[in-house]
Amino acid sequence: MTISSGVALFDLHGSLGLLLPIAALLPLVGVLMVSQNNPYQTLMLRGVFGSVATLLYVLLGAPDVALTEAMVGTLLSTTLYVIALRSSMTLRLEDRRQQPAPSTANDQRIDPDMEPLSRWLQPLHLRLRLVRNGDAPHGWLEDDRHLVIRHAHLEQHLRDQPGYQHWMEQGGHLRFSAEADNTTTEPVAAPVPSEVQPEVQP
């Protein structure tokens, strides 16, 4: 069988036994891709999926479709996924500690809070970034390992991780930002006494 856009390298009738295993890789890689918890492994399998599809199109005599799949379906989409992962799989926290971690390479001090935090976030495949004066949409880190999260679903998701127990055993704390706001005692204004009318002597 010959495709009009090109000459097929294999005939479907004579080489069906060779083409079927290659074609069977597509649903197999697809199932593996959607069953992964690690987004970076999913990204690698997406590249494998596109490469197999490109090879299959070439063997079937469709070089134009194969080129489109290789350039758009594999190269371009993988690049966009990498950019999206690097921007979305980062937990940005504001460092509100009085003695923050060293910011220079010459300073050999080790931040004691980084190891348990990184260990906590490892199953979630999140990269931790502490900022002093910048955009930190996810929360902040205070002294004595007080971690405050701005989003309720993220705070609950962190509590469900095994690293939460290790963080608590190390003397850490985790709370939602609304709880932190509730703990702030606002000054209560004293009631304004009503004006006392002087008694008029008859």
User: Does the reported pTM lie above 0.75?
Assistant: no
pLDDT digits (tens, 9 = 90+) for 149-169: 998 898 898 999 988 988 998
Predicted confidence at residue 65, as pLDDT, reads: 92
Residue spans per domain, the chain: 16-88, 90-98+112-183
Question: Among residues of the chain, what percentage have pLDDT more than 90?
Answer: 21
The per-residue pLDDT for 195 is: 47
DSSP assignments along the chain, one per residue:
---TTS--SS-TTTSHHHHHHHHHHHHHHHHHHHT-S-HHHHHHHHHHHHHHHHHHHHHTT-HHHHHHIIIIIIIIHHHHHHHHHHHHSEEEEEE--SS----STT-----TTHHHHHHHHGGGT-EEEEESSS--TTEEEEGGGEEEES-HHHHHHHHTSTHHHHHHHTT-EEEEHHHHHHHSPPPPPPPPPPPPPPPPP-
